[in-house]
Chain A
Amino acid sequence: MNDLKIVLFICNWGPHAAFQMLQDSCRHMPHQVRMIRIPCSGRMSRALLFKAFETGADGVALVGCEPGSCRYGSGTGIAERNVQDTRGILELLGLGKDRLRLATFLPEQSEALLEFLQQFHADVERMGKSPVIPVPKTQPGESGRDLAARILTSHDIYACQDCGKCSSACPMSLCGKPFSPRAMAGSIIGGNIGSASVVSDVWSCLTCGICYDRCPSAVDFPRFIRDMRQVHRRAGTAGQEAHEGFFQALMRTMTSPDLDIRHWDWLPEDIQVDGQSKTLFFGGCAPYFDTFFGRTLGVKTCDILIDSLRLLNFFDIFPALLPGERCCGHDLLWTGDRDSFIRLARLNVDAIEERGIEEVVTSCPECYRTLAIDYPEHGIPISFKVTHIFDLAEKEIDKGAIGFEKLNRTLTFQDPCRLARLGGPGELPRKLISRLKPRGFEEMRDRGNSALCCGNCAWTGCDSYTKALQVKRLRQARETGSNLLVTACPKCQIHLRCAMEDPFLGDEIRMEMMDLTSIVARTIRWE
């Protein structure tokens, strides 16, 4: 029965010599261990390490050179950090961090290497097979051309009057990228689906929705792009995934039904939840984001979840949580992996309905839109109501007897696209902000319907142009003279924080950020 798959990534330099020694002397190694020779342990990114698990590995050992003996100097240190982050992710997924190990050996330590491999094999054997079922490659099925034709008609792209309003408003075009939604639509209508420029354009769009907002014929570019990505994914021309596709791989992994996900293990004890409640709080992927970006960007998006729950508790709402909550699937849907999206949606809806939940509350704009709009739109009806926490908070505060403590900051607000333009309660954030007691509130030049994107959507197409867009946005924020940039989406925080790391601009665009839910929760008071 022993069909375990153990991958050994071994550095070409020190430890590979030790490994060869074992081979040369015909030492018995567990046959489940498959060796892959790599140039340096530091080159094994988190995405590469994780992809081994996505594709069915039961255990992964990364073996590098002893600290100080790295041929490139910093390899071992980088490997340590990458392994640590990836172990955090494995732990959240319930796979267990011990399925990934890092070890270092000198060329002459072949005995120690053998011992390590035997021990690791025994450990993995004890943990058993991984519950991850690799997602099969999508079958081509319908031809790309037919599918594209269907997508063109269903989104009525032919209604385009060639007026150019979309291209003149598109933030990608405006920050200098040779990119035009109108031209792209024209090419696709002309049957030019697979050309390099169309592929690149389809993967560059931010699906931010400004063009849709402006278009006199209501050509729905975001949905059109979303579906075109399906065509390209099937044709194998998916691309430009940020972080080497780490997040898409993570989300695809979550489609395995037998995972024992541990989404909420880290929750502080003072938060009151009630497993019997008919109201469920759906958190979203913040724990994964913090594990992945915590060290590099210092973002704490889990605070948004904690503050959301504290706010619910303040209103005497003690919600249920799904211990095995999965990603809502937003990013898979918007990067063309409809099949995996549907698998995730099913798993989530089944888990929610099994508990007899009547209302799902969420503070993530993407989860909100995905659950409320995209699940039903993709043939997964929901029997519960989906409420954005802003909506709930506004109703509770409006009942009266609630006020806010003074906040000695001047605020400005970054609209998340999924609230401002694509299906969310667009006006609510400002209503809530008007209830707060900050020193001031200054709007950015582009706001509300016209707000600029934080620079990325669904972890695809991050490049120097999107960076330019982010810098432009942060300059707008700084121009307001405000000293606190209020966000309402965990990803806005991540992408904007990332842009602030620019070593050349640095202080010029740096700004403190805080989620609106956190500000509300931290200043709300009974009167």
Chain B
Amino acid sequence: MSHFLEVEHLKMYFGGVKAVDDLSFYVDEHELLGIIGPNGSGKTTVFNGVTGIYKPTGGKVIFDGKDITGQSLRNMVYLGISRTFQNLRIFKAMTVLDNIMIGDTKNNHSNLFNAVFHTPRYRKYEEEARQNALEILEMTGLTEYRNKYVGSLPYGMQKRIEFARAVVVNPKLLLLDEPAAGLNSKEAEELMELIIEVKNRKGFTIIMIDHNMKIMMSSAERIVAMETGQLLAEGTPSEIQNDPDVIKAYLGEG
């Protein structure tokens, strides 16, 4: 009992499709948990259920001792959870700096009056937000691109920007949906190093979905393997690697 995040008997049904079916797992504080599974096995849907994009058909999500089942996506940042998306959801016609500063909205308390008249109070909050964003940009190696429009940057950079946006929220729990997908192996490696570094510096707890077994094996502390919406196996990377079910269902494929 009383892990940092507990997902209990989560069910996510879409009509007849049982995308997630009675899945339970947990994460402890400061842990990096990996979720693996073939395409369509329900990994993303787990994130969508936990972060309130879809209401779970059944089951519970307990975060930091609180039942947060079915809370809205918007509330997640206030609870201390932020996430990235498998299909990038960044702001392409905005600068990198603005993309990151949006992530800081919940800490920026200037009200409309201050904003409309650019009062000293507004400037103070704005400067704080900018410094905060610049710090994250520095940490994620994006400083020199801060004034570039995100849409004009390469895909690998965009992935990094979405990660940085999730970091500036300063969550307790960070959910990363295939952060390395679509990157070449060098980019993927660099991004993973960055994720681990940021995690250690900020003391985040992370759940990460990825296809890449190599990446998972080297970075995750524990792994949950899924198949057709259900738990296939759970354990340390080496346990998972040697699990006969996993080998059959996942590793055996490719």
Q: Do A and B come from one complex?
A: no
Interface residues in chain B, defined as those with a beta carbon under 8 Å from any beta carbon in chain A = none
